[in-house]
Amino acid sequence: MARIKGVDIPDNKAVCISLTYIFGIGRSTAKKICEQAGIEGQRRVKDLSEDELNKIRNEVSNYTIEGDLRRQVSTDIKTQMEIKSYRGTRHIKGLPCRGQRTGRNCRSWKNRRGSKKIVANKKK
């Protein structure tokens, strides 16, 4: 297995497909990386030489991926929650924030929310 940015990518798949195993790289970004590295996207990872893998690693390093991207996304969500934007309040309530309907759907969101969260206990 080849390692790119701390992620094992599968050997028996095409390079473009294998790169999508890295968080933050989708199909279109993987195709761009292959073009910039000068590697055919349909070749298998196991057929690549070490030099070609180094070219791919250099191209991947130009993108924000994995831990850095996860950290950036979580700080963006926390910022939205702090400024009490619409999306931030939906995150706080545990409801979908991308415009989905909630009356007859979003069961997974309601289950993920679980029981009502207790903010603070009032003294009687």
In this structure, are residues 85 and 91 in contact, taking their beta carbons and an 8 Å threshold? Answer: no
* Mean pLDDT rounded to a whole number for the chain: 87
* C-alpha to C-alpha distance for 12 and 109, rounded to whole angstroms: 36
Residue 39 DSSP class: -
Q: Are 19 and 25 in contact (CB under 8 A)?
A: yes
Q: What is the DSSP letter of 46?
A: G
Q: Given this model, what pLDDT does residue 99 score?
A: 87
Name the CATH architecture for the domain at 2-60: Orthogonal Bundle (1.10)
Domain boundaries, the chain: 2-60, 67-113
Q: What is the pTM of this model?
A: 0.74
Query: How far is residue 87's CA from residue 6's CA, in Å, rounded to a whole number?
Result: 32
Task: Please say whether the structural domain 67-113 has been given the CATH code 3.40.50.150.
Answer: no
66-82 helix and 86-93 helix, angle to the nearest 10 degrees = 100
Chain segment 36-52, per-residue pLDDT in tens:
999 998 999 999 999 99
